[in-house]
Copies of this chain bind each other. A is one copy, B any other.
Amino acid sequence: MRTSIATVCLSGTLEEKMHACANAGFDGIEIFEQDLLVSPHSPEEIRDLAARLGLSLDLYQPFRDFEGVPEELLAENLYRAEAKFRLMRSLGMDLMLLCSNVGTATIDDDELAAAQLRRLGDLAARYGIRIAYEALAWGTFVNDFEHAMRIVDLADHPNIGTCLDSFHILSRGWNPAGIEKIPAEKIFFVQLADAPQLSMDILSWSRHYRVFPGEGAWELDKFMGHLVRSGYNGPVSLEIFNDVFRQADEERTAVDAMRSLIWLEERTSVHLLETDGPDARYPMQLATLPQVAEPTGFNFAEVKAENTEHVQQLLSQLGFTFRGRHRTKPVQLWTQGQARIIINEQQARGLEPTIAALAFDVEDPLVAASRALQLKATAVPRQSQANEAVLQAVKAPDSTEIFLCEATPDGTAAWTDEFATDGAKRSGQDLITHIDHVNLAQPWQHFDESVLFYESTLSLAPRPSTEVPSPVGLVRSQVMRTEDGNVRLALNIAPLVMEQPGPSAESAYPQHIAFACTDLIALARNAVASGLEFLKIPANYYADLQARFRLAPELLATLQELNLLYDRDETGEFLHFYTATVGSVFFEVVERRSSYDGYGAPNAPVRLSAQYLLSKHG
């Protein structure tokens, strides 16, 4: 599949955009006119730069408000078009996008529109240029791709074809199956965009909220299936108008974009296999990726800091066992049940405690790492001594290192042998069984990228996102998880603390590791006895709990005494507590009763507020 992307998707100058597209591995680009107009480089210089970068210049866009107009306006429009054809010749380009008229169309007559397109086609032919006519979802008379195609048919000109854009088709609810009926040679270009399912006017939705395939709500694999069956074999291009992407670093956005296309290509391939069987053949060749099953659990989590004493203390107070130091590095292992925490003081000068790495149990780490790398994850170089396990690792968009480890049937981790057990001391009985979930803060301008990363590389499925009020704004929370719930990752965007523009969202918002336990009350009592700093929960919370759930007075008293939080729904009960925060890390311990499957969402504002008070007033 040939990949392309419109320059309007990215921030920066045209030059910066082109470098980013080339670096991310795109085959070609669409030149968005505005980007060229504001560029100090001549069309010839842009053409040469594209050649040097190995980028084809696939589409010049947009040309607007051409057809369905009176004759005198048509003459002006042909004048405008010819100026652009000359420009395209300087750029060495041969395909122009023509959007259905939204501004000046006054005549609703397909025959007339077709005749006018034919005249444009004649003019274009003189410059060796073809015109891809596209129905904008808000076109005055033409807003449906099949209508645009009827006009193209009527025009019956070799230089006039159509451009299909998933946004304009799916936002209007048109059935994309009709694509299969279009002759492949008349599909001159294809643009893809995904979008969240918003109920707003289509123009605003289109201009501000498009996202890359896989980051929205649409089944683009099915859309692509229709396209592949039509016999189309040209570029598949991204055209994403998104306020956030316009502000974010263009190199990262381009990688995110490329990842979305690679993943879509695979999903399309899987979709076609399912629907058309293994023997079906199409002109468009679709690449696939190494297949991985969803991870079966957390293998470990790593907390890194120059000084980890306070973190060690918290773990000890939670009943974790110190299992020893690494043979060659300033690294410790603490475990309880299958919960393993690596404490790392290596290369951590000046660093406050932070969640530096997460490790997942996967069937085949090499295959999983290969998949992630093909999906444009950054490799993490490992320095291992002889005889040490070489762990596969990649970097997530938020810089967390993601380790891919072999799951062993007995639940042990092979690499733990590397830790000397001399200093090991056991703190008590193992009430904690495993890591229940991990909550990571995400910079808001890369949130969609993170969701797509974890979904495409690790096969974690996004659940509907929620919003939680905090004293400094709403926190958006997106749970990514495996079907069986053995791996749960919550990605949170923290609000920017606006009046103090210094700290970035990442550093201002703490992250945490939540441990599952079998008896929270017993564990909390042990922790109290060993002096754990609990996050203090206000008395008003318990009064409200009582009003909502009519809890037994003894249970209520115990919850309040131990600073435990409580939730209940039709599936079961949830008890949990939080520790104090050290650096940007805190811990949570949770007990799920019956089949409670949530995260105590009603309690999140209580936690956020208590942490806000602590951070502000100590």
Q: Which residues of A contact B (CB under 8 A)?
A: 11-13, 16, 33-34, 36-43, 76, 79-80, 83-84, 87, 198-201, 204, 243, 246-249, 443, 445, 469, 471-474, 495-499, 501-504, 536, 538-541, 543-544, 546-548, 550, 605-606, 608-610, 612-613
Contacts and interface: CB of A to CB of B under 8 A. Distances in A.
A543 B87 contact: yes
A279 B60 CA distance: 67
B499 A502 contact: no
A497 B501 CA distance: 11
Contact of A247 (B43, B472, B538): B472
B606 A38 contact: yes
16 contacts: A34-B469, A37-B538, A37-B541, A37-B544, A37-B606, A40-B610, A76-B550, A79-B550, A87-B543, A243-B474, A246-B495, A247-B495, A445-B499, A501-B503, A501-B504, A502-B502
Given A40-B539, A42-B540, A199-B199, 12 more contacts: A13-B613, A16-B471, A37-B606, A38-B471, A38-B541, A38-B605, A40-B610, A87-B543, A87-B547, A243-B473, A247-B495, A247-B496
A13 B474 contact: no
Given A498-B445, A610-B38, A473 B79 contact: no
A472 B469 CA distance: 29
Given A247-B496, A473-B246, A39 B538 contact: yes
A241 to B, nearest CB: 10
A325 to B, nearest CB: 37
Nearest to A546: B83
Contact of A80 (B16, B247, B474, B547): B547
Contact of A502 (B38, B83, B501): B501
B544 A471 contact: no
Contacts of A204: 199
A38 B604 CA distance: 10
Contacts of A469: 34, 246
A250 B429 CA distance: 48
Contacts of A11: 471-473
A555 B42 CA distance: 21
A613 B41 CA distance: 12
A313 B443 CA distance: 43
Contacts of A503: 501
A539 B445 contact: no
Given A84-B547, A612-B13, A43 B540 contact: yes
B609 A13 contact: yes
A40 B243 CA distance: 39
Nearest to A202: B199
A287 to B, nearest CB: 31
Q: Which of A36, A39, A79, A501 has the largest number of chain B CB atoms within 10 A?
A: A501
A246 B497 CA distance: 10
A204 B495 CA distance: 18
Nearest to A538: B40
Contacts of A248: 498-499
Contacts of A445: 498-499
Nearest to A246: B473
A525 to B, nearest CB: 23
A498 B36 CA distance: 24
Q: Which of A199, A246, A498, A548 has the largest number of chain B CB atoms within 10 A?
A: A498
A139 to B, nearest CB: 18
A123 to B, nearest CB: 14
Contacts of A496: 247, 496
Contacts of A87: 543, 547
Nearest to A612: B13
Nearest to A607: B38
